[in-house]
Amino acid sequence: MPTGPARRTLKPRIVGRLANFYRKIAAGLVLLAACVAVYFTSGVTPALIVFAAGIVMLALLLGAEPPPPLAPDVAAMIDAIAAPIVIVARNVVTHANAGARGLLGQDIVGKTIDETIPHPAAHARLEKSDLQGGAVELVGLGRDDQRWEMRVGAGPDGQRVVQLVDQTGGYTAEKMRVDFVANASHELRTPLAAILGFAETLGDDRGDMDPETRGRFMKVILDESRRMNRLVEDLISLSRIEAEKHRPPEVDIDLAELAEAIHAEFADGPNIRGMDIVAEIAPDIPAVTGDRAQLSQLLHNLLGNAMKYGRPETPITLSLRTEPGGMVRIAVADQGEGIPAKHLPRLTERFYRVDSGRSRSLGGTGLGLAIVKHIVERHRGRLDIASVVGQGTEVVVLLPAAVIKA
């Protein structure tokens, strides 16, 4: 015999079912008494009319029996689950936890499931008696970009337990993977087509091509080959950084010394814009726990972007200082055309470009800021990009200072 909570759960159900049974018997007795009274006072025909009306009323009474309520402990367990869960009895929502009310509406209890989840596939799934069908994918609940999976299970007294599982993250990841493959293929196909075209032209030359044209064709082949090489290197670098994302660095890096070395490298390099870089490095910059090669790549990418997109002969500022809360602030600012605000949230997406033609002509691969973002994430830092159209852009990276060991 059940004891404890199980016994307390069963007792209200048994009492409720007995009460319903006695109500049905009472209704039947009242109907019978009414028919007998009419028969003796008015005859057979009125008695038959009363009997028919009573049958209809009794059927309505029996059909209107409310579904049994959930046991308190079961309702409490469902309410403690974060995922949206709805209990359905006779096509009516009888219980919904906080997740379901937040997604489908606070007043869904008492409504039909057709009103609550207006989706034909959901209705068809709930109408199946064997509940052997698979999950149903739903679009349109909550935000437009959300994807849900509806799972249905059997509950007590013929009720249905409807669970909604958010699949938006998996869908977004899959879409990013597909987009990445498509974009990478396109980025590789463009220079490859140019290389093949000019190489075939040179191969078909029978000696009537002048040296200047030949040299121009060779330059295009060389430039596009270098572009492909940069793209492949960036793809490999991005893949390596992502693979190490969950393994935090363990070496303390003197960021001030690294920034000064990279500044000198650009100043002495072949690009004349390197002379426009101004380094503003505060004294006593604490070390950061990091990966030297990745932090070097971060600075190279940020300064390289500033050199490409800043106006010629305008200063590029590389600043380094400490911030409250034990953070080290790296900032690279240029005086370029600036970036419209609508583009800022997407700048760290792979292959996203504000101006595709200009970026390609300047040798950009579309992966620079994506690499920066993943490096910052691995170092448990923060990346902010601010820009004013017509004035320029500033990229700020905050990295936690290394913990001083006793």
**pLDDT surpassing 50 at residue 33:** yes
pLDDT tens digits, 309-325? 899 889 999 999 999 88
Q: Can you give the pLDDT at residue 11?
A: 45
Asked if domains 72-166 and 171-243 share a fold, the reply is no
pLDDT tens digits, 49-74? 555 655 655 554 555 455 566 667 77
Considering only CA atoms, give the Rg of the chain: 36
**pLDDT surpassing 50 at residue 245:** yes
Q: Can you give the pLDDT at residue 13?
A: 45
Domain segments of the chain: what residues?
4-63, 72-166, 171-243, 251-400
3-state SS record for the chain: CCCHHHHHHHHHHHHHHHHHHHHHHHHHHHHHHHHHHHHHHHCHHHHHHHHHHHHHHHHHHHHCCCCCCCCHHHHHHHHCCCCCEEEEECCEEEEECHHHHHHHCCCCCCCEHHHHCCCHHHHHHHHCCCCCCCCEEEECCCCCCCEEEEEEEECHHHCEEEEEEECHHHHHHHHHHHHHHHHHHHHHHHHHHHHHHHHHHHHHCCCCCCHHHHHHHHHHHHHHHHHHHHHHHHHHHHHHHHHCCCCCCCEEECHHHHHHHHHHHHHCCCCHHHHHEEEEECCCCCCEEECHHHHHHHHHHHHHHHHHHECCCCCEEEEEEEECCCEEEEEEECCECCCCHHHHHHCCCCCCCCCHHHHHHCCCCCCHHHHHHHHHHHCCCEEEEEEECCCEEEEEEEEEECCCCC
Cβ atoms of 398 and 255 closer than 8 Å: no
Cα–Cα distance for residue pair 240/217, rounded to 1 Å: 35
pLDDT tens digits, 184-199? 787 788 888 888 888 8
Whether the model pTM is above 0.85:
no
Q: For residue 306, give Cα distances in angstroms to 30, 256, 273, 301, 333.
A: 91, 20, 9, 9, 7
The hierarchical CATH code for the domain 72-166 is 3.30.450.20
**pLDDT surpassing 50 at residue 7:** no
pLDDT tens digits, 195-232? 888 888 888 877 778 888 888 889 889 988 888 888 88
Cα–Cα distance for residue pair 184/238, rounded to 1 Å: 12
Q: Which two tokens stand for residue 31?
A: 């109907």
* Topology, domain 171-243: Helix Hairpins (1.10.287)
* Topology, domain 251-400: Heat Shock Protein 90 (3.30.565)
Select the more confidently predicted residue: 27 or 243. Answer: 243
